[in-house]
Amino acid sequence: MKKLASLFSSSRTFQSVLILLIVLCTSTSLYLMDKSVTSFLLLLFSFLLLYYTTFSNWIKWGAGALIAFAVIPVAASGGPSQQVYMEVAVMAGIYIAMALGLNIVVGFAGLLDLGFVAFFALGAYVYGIFASPQAQALFHNSSIFPLGGESFWLFIIVGALVAALFGIILGVPVLRVKGDYLAIVTLGFGEIIRIVFNNLDKPINITNGALGISGIPQPKLFGFTFTQASHIYFLVLIVLGFVIYAVRRFEDSKLGRSWKAIREDEIASQAMGIPLVKTKLWAFALGASFSGMMGVLFAAKNQFVDPTSFTLLESITILVMVILGGMGSVPGVILGAAIISILNLQILTEITLFLTQNLHVPEVFSPAKMQRLLFGLVLVGIAIFRPQGLIPAKNKTYKIADLKAKLSKKNTKTKETTTSI
């Protein structure tokens, strides 16, 4: 095993051969077999291998995009299970994006948020209300509503903005509270949002209460409707790509460095001139906006939203993803979110079905029921044995010489421009 690992990290030919082999084998078996969860998982595993190769970033991203955009959808389209894989992939993508959003708040800025799902709910409800017949009940005899599936593209942005706005509204008072109090306050906020959505059917019917909003239109573009999970898949990929790119850029920006400084020591960073409240607010707003965006996608995919999708367990699930993967580590969080969501949606149910069907194990022992136990064990285990997560965060290292060179380059540039005037 060790030899294999060292061979892997030293030889690029070995790397590329291995990945090609895995992708080829798994995708053909996925294509040919009716149902093969194993090959689907191994195919996804190739992303992780890709991450550990020593190729340049451009090649990694290119190869990753090729697998995600072309290999997976084609390989999955072979059998009748196509929509299952796509459904799982779509949900995994939604969770990854949300976990990346929460990672900004918890991982980068060190603010424990236990009510994160509230922003997801906001996004989902914003699209749900305005794009479905619910809007007509709300604005009597208005001919503009419902907006229909074409408005989805607009609402992706609107959802993000609304969530960000609520992030700020919540943040302004809440961020005066420190540390563990913040966890409780955000938890309270999450519950308040859910209870309010559950009850806003009177005096004015805004959310249709516990009955939820049905008949939400699927996204439409130039007359094409995204009806199947395999269509939504590409949408999720594009949004996810944008989110990953944005988070990466933020991480190394001035803002990102201030977040990390605050996480390590609030007082010291305040002394260095970092505006505490403003920086924290940015974290809240940005994290929330990713979640709101995914909420819109979720509503459009399910064509139905109701408050039961936004419980505390959901917030904790997203937190588990971040903690498992590694707080503050973008690749880690992606891995954590992928593992947990696939575990939840596919592996646990498959194992349960297998156990109850083939081995006749009583229902009580089925692992799908043990979700909370599993999450609890992950949280405690990670906290005690590996607080940095599966893939620990790496801080970008700056060499003084490089920085100086960059700076002088910049200076000479500005000098040049000034002299030319």
Partner 1 sequence: MKRNFLTILTVFGLVTATAVGCSTDAGGNNAIKIATQSPLSGSSSTLGEAIKLGAQLALEENQEKFKKLGFTLELVPFDDQGDPKVGVSNAQKLAADQSILGVVGHLNSGVAIPASSTYENNSIAMVSPANTAVELTEQGKKSVNRIVARDDFQGPAAFGFATDNLKAKNIFIIQDKSAYGQGLAENFKKVAEQKQAKILAYEGITVGEQDFNGVLNQVVAKKPDLIYFGGLYGEGGLLVKQAREKGLNIPVMGGDGFDSSDMVKIAGKGVKNTFYTSVAADISNTSEGQNFVKKYQAKFGDKKSVQSFSYYGYDSMGVILKGLEDSITKNGNKKPTREQVRDAIRAVQDYQGIATKVGFDAKGDNKYAKVFVFQFEDKYPGKQVGVIEKQ
Partner 2 sequence: MQEILSTLPQVLLDGLTLGAIYAVVALGYTMVYGILELINFAHGEIFMAGAFIGTALLFTFVDIGLALNWLTLILVLLLASLLTGVLGVGIERIAYRPLRKAPKLIPLISAVGISFILQDLVRFIAEYKTGNYIVTGQTVFENKIAIPAFSIGGYDVHASAIKSNTLVVIGIAVLIMIVLDIFVNRTKWGIAMRAVAQDRDTAALMGINVNKVIALTFFIGSAIGGATGVLYAQQYATINPFIGFILGLKAFTAAVLGGIGNIRGAMFGGLLIGLLEVFAAANLGILTGGALGAEYKDVFAFIILILVLIFKPAGLFGQAVKEKV
Chain positions contacting partner 1, by CB under 8 A: 1-2, 5-6, 8-9, 34-38, 41-42, 45, 48, 52, 79-84, 87-88, 91, 195, 198-199, 201-202, 209-212, 214-215, 227-229, 302-304, 306, 308-309, 335, 339, 343, 345, 347, 349-354, 356-357, 363, 366, 368-369, 390-392
To 5 degrees, how large is the angle CA 142–CA 147–CA 150? 155
384 binds, among partner 1, partner 2, none (CB under 5 to 8 A by kind): partner 2
Per the CB < 8 A criterion, the answer to whether 120 and 298 are in contact is yes
196 binds, among partner 2, partner 1, none (CB under 5 to 8 A by kind): partner 2
Write each residue from 167 to 186 as x if it is in contact with partner 2 (CB under 8 A), else as -, in one continuous string: ------xx-xx-xxx-xxx-
List 316, 321, 333, 390, residue binding partner 2 (CB under 8 A): 316
Query: Which residue, among 89, 92, 117, 91, has the nearest Cα to 102 in the 3D structure?
Result: 117
To 5 degrees, how large is the angle CA 132–CA 137–CA 143? 75
Burial track 320-350 (b if 16+ CB lie within 10 A, e otherwise) = bbbbbbbbbbbbbbbbbbbbbbbbbbbbbee
Does 284 bind partner 2 (CB under 8 A)? Our answer is no
Question: Is 220 strand, coil or helix?
Answer: strand
What's phi and psi for 214, nearest 5 deg?
A: -115, 170
Write each residue from 189 to 228 as x if it is in contact with partner 2 (CB under 8 A), else as -, in one continuous string: x-xx--xx-xx--xx-------------------------
185 binds, among partner 1, partner 2, none (CB under 5 to 8 A by kind): partner 2
380 binds, among partner 2, partner 1, none (CB under 5 to 8 A by kind): partner 2
Q: What is the DSSP letter of 366?
A: -
Q: Which pairing describes strands 213-214 and 304-305: parallel, antiparallel, or unpaired?
A: antiparallel
Query: Which residue, among 70, 51, 72, has the nearest Cα to 60 in the 3D structure?
Result: 51
Q: Which residues bind partner 2 (CB under 8 A)?
A: 106, 110, 112, 114, 173-174, 176-177, 179-181, 183-185, 187-189, 191-192, 195-196, 198-199, 202-203, 267, 312, 316, 319, 323, 327, 364, 369-373, 375-384, 387
